């Protein structure tokens, strides 16, 4: 099992690269509470973007957060604890530069 896991991680690093990170867009009825939980429990920055539900025409706050691959499960658990009705899209970015990730100077 350990060898299978290690080979899977190695294959992922080889195909995706070392700098690959995950991005999450979160639409929640409790954006402040979700953001506060992520800030407190994961010590990751969260950006609130102004959005509009195109069906309801209601203003919404869309949260954006960048995390490492290993933090995805924890992020999902935090969001579920705070707002189990939240809508979450998790994607991938080739590189993240700045605080908490690689330096912009490199």
Reduced to 3 states, what is the DSSP secondary structure of residue 9?
Answer: helix
pLDDT band at 36 (very low <50, low <70, confident <90, very high): very high
Q: What is the pLDDT of residues 41-83, one digit of tens each?
A: 999 999 999 999 999 999 999 999 999 989 999 999 999 999 9
Give the domains, in start order, of the chain with CATH numbers: 19-93 (3.30.70.120)
**24 forms bridges with which residues in the sheet?**
65, 90
Mean pLDDT of the chain: 90
Helix 31-42 / helix 72-82 crossing angle, nearest 10 deg = 140
> Does pLDDT of 9 surpass 80?
no
pLDDT winner (highest mean) among 12-16, 71-75, 96-100: 71-75
DSSP summary character for residue 102: B
């Amino acid at each position: 099992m350990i060898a299978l896991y290690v080979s899977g991680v190695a294959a992922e690093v080889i195909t995706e690269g070392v700098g690959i990170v995950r991005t999450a867009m979160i639409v929640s009825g409790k954006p402040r509470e979700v953001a506060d939980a992520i800030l407190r429990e994961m010590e990751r920055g969260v950006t609130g973007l102004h959005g509009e539900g195109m069906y309801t025409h209601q203003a919404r706050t869309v949260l954006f957060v960048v995390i490492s691959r290993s933090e995805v499960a924890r992020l999902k658990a935090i969001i579920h604890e705070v707002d189990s009705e939240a809508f979450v899209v998790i994607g991938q970015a080739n590189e993240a530069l700045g605080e908490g990730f690689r330096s912009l100077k490199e």
